[in-house]
Amino acid sequence: MSNPWEEISLDDYENHMSLDSVKQLQTMNGIMEEQLEAYPACTAMVLGVAGGNGLEHVRRSKYQTVYGIDINGDYLRTVSERYAGLSDVLKCLKLDLTCDADRLPEAQLLIANLLVEYIGYEVFQRVACKVNPEYVSCVIQIDTDDAQWVSDSPYLHTFDRLDSVHHPVDEALLSAKMKEIGYKTVLRTRTPLPNGKALSRMDFRKEREFLKID
């Protein structure tokens, strides 16, 4: 059976995420600008790049290469069209992280926004170990106790099949899992959303004893 993300249209996803009652697309755009500027990296990888939200903040004077990774080939074609001006910097790769982690290149900064929820902790550990970044920056969704994890909207049923691949993420457990592979939590912020939910940004840095020596 195909991954549900291969069947969700980008228009439906972006229209849902940008609704005034959801406002995740706009919020994550601002967060990604901060992520791209936060650390002294010249290579970055964006997991689950979707339509490329936030890539307009990639500075050529800072980045030599930015990898955009997604399981949906249509998303990646749109990213390449939208950001044609970054064609010499942006490298799009169609990969299923649950089975293709060994095909990932290395990058100094790994960005994973609303992504760990769909691959789980163990797969994310494998991905991080293969990419071998010095810095990892994640955004996870914090739900209220009485709210469904996909916000109500006219596009709600577009996401029905995501239940089969959704893994709730706990901040403390994510920190513990990252520590297992040598990453220390260096930042944790929380941004409220209109519907009572929040986005938690968690950044990690590779501890010295785990740094790769060339």
3-state secondary structure of 112: strand
Instruction: Identify whether 20 is part of a domain.
Output: yes
130-139, 150-159, 195-204 — which one is most confidently predicted on average? 130-139
Q: What is the CATH number of the domain that holds 18?
A: 3.40.50.150
**Domain for residue 183, yes or no?**
yes
Is 150 part of any domain?
A: no
Q: What is the mean pLDDT of the chain?
A: 91
Burial class for 146, CB neighbours closer than 10 Å (0-12, 13-18, 19+): exposed
pLDDT digits (tens, 9 = 90+) for 91-135: 999 999 999 999 999 999 999 999 999 999 999 999 999 999 999
The count of structural domains within the chain is 1
Q: Is residue 11 part of a domain?
A: yes
**What is the residue-wise DSSP string for 136-147?**
EEEEEEE--TTS
Please indicate, yes or no, if residue 151 is contained in any of the structural domains.
no
Encoded tokens for 109: 């900064």
Domain that holds residue 79: 4-145+156-209
- This prediction has a pTM of 0.92
In a domain, 39, yes or no: yes
49-94 residue pLDDT tens? 999 999 999 999 999 999 999 999 999 999 999 999 999 999 999 9
Does residue 144 contact residue 197 with C-beta atoms inside 8 Å? yes
Q: Write down the H helix ranges in the chain.
A: 10-17, 24-38, 73-82, 97-100, 116-131, 171-180
